[in-house]
Each structure stands twice: as structure tokens, then as C-alpha cells.
Amino acid sequence: MKNSLAAFAALAVLTTGCAPDTPKTPETASPPPVTIVIHGGAGALAPGRYTPAKEAEFIAKLNEALDVGYAILDEGGAALDAVEAAIVTMEDSPLFNSGKGAVFTREGKNELDASIMDGATLNAGAVTGVTTVKNPIRLARSVMEDSVHVMFAGNGADEFAEQQGHEIVDPEYFYTEHRWKSYEEALEREKQQEDSALPIDFKYGTVGAVALDAEGNLAAGTSTGGMTLKNFGRVGDTPIIGAGTFADNKSCAVSSTGHGEYFIRLTIARDICAQVEYADKTVEDAATDVIHGRLETLGGGGGVIVLGADGAFAMVFNTDGMFRGAKSATGVNTTAIYGD
């Protein structure tokens, strides 16, 4: 399948004896293969965009995030913990558009969004427009676990973070020279464009993770600085449950990256899981239908990572590339940037 990869867990059915008269022991499904899949954003990532040294930096950080998340799963830890840890690793890296390294709004600020969902309980937490919280994904989890709400916005989210004892930073912490340069270039390009469409070399850089633990529980999370030059108060898909993030043990876990307005209108993450649940589609087919079908028809760009309850996963995008990786008890251990 174009721009995608899938691995299927061997659901071995153990029986003893094969002679007709030998009584069979009850069928036993093997435990699900613990798996983590991550992304670091999709976009105009054609080969040659980065020097080999820069590519190696991205790959090393993706591997670090995978290893951190996978180690938790391998030790019997929860999918939610693996998702959070993998995302924190990428939020702390200036390479990605989340946490440190977030893109700038039109007003030259960094406003961060994140969400997380537990596939076992359908509990979810999200934050949007936070400006002082070092790790928005931790705050999203805290909204899920320490409040009776699902989403906090703006000052309220920052205030909740302080109340809950999250690490607070000066907004300056999020500044990086390369994002500021992109901001200035985007302003310049915009002046030269007649319409308000995104520049064609636009690169999304959101981060996300989906995981399956040894208990068979799925979780998904996503974190972003949003889109360069986003207008005041703009909310993308990342903090919207069902658009940027969704997880349900009955179907799958999804994290999205791309032009958020399209992902919201198509409820991309929920649509993929609905197709898996109600139409019995594989995660690969459902993701392909939504990204190469519905999203493309509407004119949107981006990608998703999807993980099923059986360990099957897909990484599908309609852009030139998507930073991505997967690690599983089945032996899969892969990272990539560009398309096939």
C-alpha cells in the first residue's frame, strides 16, 4: 500500500495433539504483541530536504522516543505511560513542532495543544493554547485524570497546570532560532501570495504516539505547536478528541498530523476507528480510505499512525513524507522520514 507499512501479529492458536481421538485443550490466544508507533509530523519532506547529518539527528530522536516508550511496554507498563513518555521525549527536542521547538503564531508567540486518550475506558484529556507548560501532553493526561473535564483552554489550562504542580516555564523556553526564521519566511511568502493558501512547501511537525500494552489496552496521544502563522485563538485538530487523537480497545488508536482544519471537519481519527469497528476493515484499509480518499478529496494534506487491538499497525500519509517509527514484540523496529 502506498506510503504505508503494516505488520500483523501472529495470533497463534495453541492446540495439543492432532490425532482424531486426542482431546484438544481449549484454544488459547497468545497475549497481544506490545507495540508502539510514533510520528513526528508529515509534510513536504522529499528526499534531499535535509542533509544526511540532519536526517541522522531526526532518526536518532525517533529511535530514542520509540525505545523510551517500548521499554515501558516491555516491562509490563501501561500503554498510556508509553504514549506519554514517547511524546515527552519529542516535546523536549527542538527538532519537532511540539513543546520546545513549537512554531510561532501570527503574533509571534508559541501556543501549544495536546490530547491523550485511554482506549480501555474512553477517558480523554486535552489542552489548547497553553503558553507556559513545558510538557503539554502531561497536562492533557492530568486533565483526564485530575479533573472532571476533558479540555482546558488558554489561561485556564495554564492555571490548571500550576495548580497540579506541572513544570512551568517562561514562554521564552519554546523559542528556537530555526522556527523564528520559518516564521519570518512564512510572513514574507504570504506577502507574495495572492491567496491565503498554505505555502506549498509547508511542513507539519506535530508529534504523536499510539501504543498497545500487554493487557491489550490501547492509548493514543498527540502534541503540537499548531501551524505557523495561525491566527489568535485558532484551535487545530490535535486537541480535538476524534480528530487528532482517538483510542478505543474495540477498534484502534490513532494520532494525526496535518492541516488541522481538514482533520477536524472529517473527524479523521474517529472515522478510521469507526471503519475498523463497524465495517470490519483492517487498520491499513481504514487509514488509506480516510487519508487517500476523504482527506484528499477535500484537498487536505497530512497523515496518521494507527494501531489495532491485535497489534496490526499502519502509517499512512498523502504528503511527501512523515517522520515515523514503530517498535513491536513481533520484532518490528523501524524508522523513516520519506515516502516509499
**Residues carrying an active site annotation:** 206
Which C-beta is closer to ligand ASP: that of 98 or that of 328?
98
Least separation in angstroms between residue 216's CB and ligand ASP is 29
Strands 124-130 and 112-118: antiparallel
DSSP reduced 3-state for 192: helix
In the 8-state DSSP scheme, what is residue 289? Answer: I
Cα–Cα dist 313/62, whole Å: 17
> What does the block give as the cell for 10?
501472529
Nearer to ligand ASP, 44 or 71 (CB): 44
Kindly write down the DSSP assignment for every residue of 61-128, as one continuous string: HHHHHHHHHHHHHHTT--HHHHHHHHHHHHHTSTTSSSSTTPPPPTTS---EEEEEEETTT--EEEEE
Residue (58 or 204) nearer to ligand ASP, CB: 204
Instruction: State the pairing for strand pair 218-224/112-118.
Output: antiparallel
Give the residue with the Cβ less far from ligand ASP, 290 or 312: 290
Closer residue to ligand ASP (CB): 77 or 205 = 205
Least distance (Å) from ligand ASP to the CB of residue 206? Answer: 3
Taking the complex as a whole, how short is the minimal distance between the CB of residue 280 and ligand ASP, in angstroms?
28
CA-to-CA distance for 325 and 65, rounded, in angstroms? 9
- The contact set with ligand ASP (CB under 6 A) reads 41, 97, 204-206, 224, 226-227, 236-238, 257-258, 260
CB of 256 to ligand ASP, least distance (A): 6
* Strand blocks (E) in the chain: 13-14, 28-29, 35-43, 112-118, 124-130, 151-153, 207-212, 218-224, 245-247, 252-258, 302-308, 313-317, 321-328, 333-338
CB of 120 to ligand ASP, least distance (A): 25
* Kind and range of the H or E run holding 268: helix 268-278
Phi and psi of 42, rounded to 5°?
-115, 170
Residue 33, CA atoms < 13 Å, CB-side half-sphere? 23
